[in-house]
A and B are shown apart, each in its own frame.
Chain A
C-alpha cells in the first residue's frame, strides 16, 4: 500500500517537474499539464483507497481484539466451571448414621396407638395457659378416679370432644358462658349425658372386672367346677355339635331308605303278596333297625 502511494507521489512529482521544466523553458506543454492532472487524480484515488484500507485495517484489528476478548471470556468461564465441578465432586455427601434405635418407627407408632387407650383418660387434655377454669374442671374429673375403684370400661371419644370444645372456644363473659359454640347448641340432657361419659373413672391398669373377665378367671372357674383345665370348652362344644349333626344325617338317611323300601313293596306286581311280604319285610327290617339302635 505504501509503495503504491509512493509510486503515485513519485509520478505526481515527476509530472510536476516536467511541467515546471517546460514552463521555465518557455515551452509550455499542455500534455505535461494533463499528465499532472492525471497523476493528481490517481493520487486522490490512492489516498481514498488508503483511507479505506486504513479503515478496514482498523476494523480488522477491532474484530481481532473482540474475538480475543470473547475467547478469554470463554476460557475464564470454562475454568470456573471446571473448578466448581471439582469442588462439587470433592464435597463429601453427608453420611447419615444408621438409626440408633433398634425399634422400627412404624412398630413404635402402632404400639403407641394401641396402648394410648389405657395410658390417659379419654377426656384428658394438657393444660392450656389461657384456660384456667376449664383445667380446674379437668382436675376435678381426674381426682375422682383416684379414690374410686374400677367400674365399666371408659371409652368415650365423644366426651373428649366435649372437653376439647370447652378449651379453645372461650367466649368472653360469665363463667357459664364458657361453653363452646357446639356445646351451647346441644340440649341440657345431651350435655349432661356427655358429662357423665366424661366422668367415668380411669386408671392406667386393668380394672377388677377386666381381670375377672380374662383367661385366668376362666381357668379358675374350670378348676373350681372340677373340669380339667387342659381341655378347651369351645372345642368340645364344636365336637359335640359335629357328632350331633352326623347322627342327624344318619337318621335322615335311614328314614329315607325305609320310605323307599315301602314304596318299592307297594308298587310290586303281586299286590296282595307284596303287601304281606311288605309286612314281613317291614317287620323284619324294623327288627333289624331296632337291634341296631338297641
Chain B
C-alpha cells in the first residue's frame, strides 16, 4: 500500500525534490542552463520561483545545506533584469566570483 502523501515521484517526496531544486539554483551554471532552455521566460516558472520563496522562512531554511548561495539566487531571480543577464557567461562568472569570495573571504 503506497503512501501517496509521502512517496510520490520516483521514491522522493515533493518537498525533497523542491529542496533539491532550490539548492541547485545556487549553482550559477545551472541558472545559465535554465535561462538557455528558456525556462526563465515562462511566467509559470517565474511564479514557481516566487513560490519557492517559502524557503526563506526559518522552519524551511534549516533544511538548506547551501543557505547563502541559495537564498542569494532566489533573491536575484525575482528581478527580471537578472533573469535576462544570467544568460550571458559574464554574469555567470561574476556570480561565481561573488559566491566564492563570500565563502572563502577576501584575499590579495
Give residues in A with beta carbon < 8 Å to B.
102-103, 107, 111, 114-115, 117-121, 124, 126-127, 135, 138-139, 142, 145-146, 149, 203-208, 211, 214-216, 218-219, 222, 229-235
Min C-beta distance of B3 to chain A, whole Å:
10
Report the number of A-B residue pairs with Cβ-Cβ less than 8 Å: 103
Known contacts A139-B107, A204-B100, A233-B10; A216 and B58 CB within 8 A of each other: no
6 closest residue pairs by CB, A with B: A205-B26, A215-B12, A204-B103, A205-B27, A232-B11, A219-B10
A218 contacts B108, CB within 8 Å?
no
Q: Does B53 contact A (CB under 8 A)?
A: no
Chain A, Cβ-Cβ closest to B19: A215
Known contacts A142-B104, A215-B20; A208 and B27 CB within 8 A of each other: yes
B68 contacts A215, CB within 8 Å?
no
Give residues in B with beta carbon < 8 Å to A.
2, 7-12, 16-17, 20-21, 23-24, 26-30, 58, 62, 64-70, 96-97, 99-100, 102-105, 107-108
Interface of B is mostly: helix
One of A203, A231, A232 near B100 (C-beta < 8 A): A203
One of A114, A203, A219 near B9 (C-beta < 8 A): A219
One of A126, A145, A206, A207 near B105 (C-beta < 8 A): A126
Min C-beta distance of B61 to chain A, whole Å:
9
